[in-house]
A = this chain, B = another copy of it.
Amino acid sequence: MQKHTTQPVRQVIESKTFPSAAVEFLRHPLPSQLVTINTNGSPQVTIMWFKYEDGALFFTTTTDRIKFRNIQKDPRAVFTVLDPTNMYKWVTVRGKLSIDKREPTAFYRGLAEHYLTGDSLAAWKETAVMDKRTVLKLTPRTFARWDFRSKRLSGNC
């Protein structure tokens, strides 16, 4: 990563809804980090594919994974996405995870097509784990982002 030449300033916007600039940002196939709480109270981080849809975020996992077990006990989660080309452009969503009733394998296929292409997508089709698969929905409680309108950016220390 190159060093940054933009001017830093601390500026966070908090809101209850997703502004259009954030929605546009979240439509890209970016990596997200999803944090849940382990049963011993420590944080658990997973790098996740995600889909933004109508003010919520959707993920897929299998019911034998740690994060699925975690949310049975404590559904609170934090979701973060960083712009890979600009570490000062990000969104964070705090909320609760719940099981979404949609068909998991179709959702997973759509997600793979969003993130992968060519040989990668073909390989995914051969190796994807469909057994015990489920869809998770993150219902936002609060939402924070850097001000996309601002050209002044912050070193967050």
A window 46-104: CB within 8 A of B? 46-49, 59-61, 74, 76-78, 80, 82, 84-85, 87, 90, 92, 94
Q: How long is the Cα–Cα vector from A41 to B111 in the complex, in angstroms?
A: 31
A-side interface mostly: mixed
Which residues of B sit under 8 angstroms from A77, Cβ to Cβ? Answer: 43
Can you tell how many copies of this chain the complex includes?
Answer: 2
Contacts A31-B82, A43-B37: A4 and B157 contacting too (C-beta < 8 A)?
Answer: no
Which residues of B sit under 8 angstroms from A92, Cβ to Cβ? Answer: 45
Contacts A7-B123, A123-B7: A61 and B116 contacting too (C-beta < 8 A)?
Answer: no
Q: Tally A residues with Cβ within 8 Å of B.
A: 56
Indicate if the CB atoms of A3 and B47 lie closer than 8 Å: no
Which residues of B sit under 8 angstroms from A118, Cβ to Cβ? Answer: 3, 5
- A1 in the interface (beta carbon within 8 A): yes
Indicate if the CB atoms of B6 and A120 lie closer than 8 Å: yes
Selected A-B contacts with CB under 8 Å, 11 pairs: A3-B29, A3-B118, A4-B117, A7-B120, A7-B123, A8-B124, A42-B94, A43-B77, A60-B157, A82-B84, A124-B155
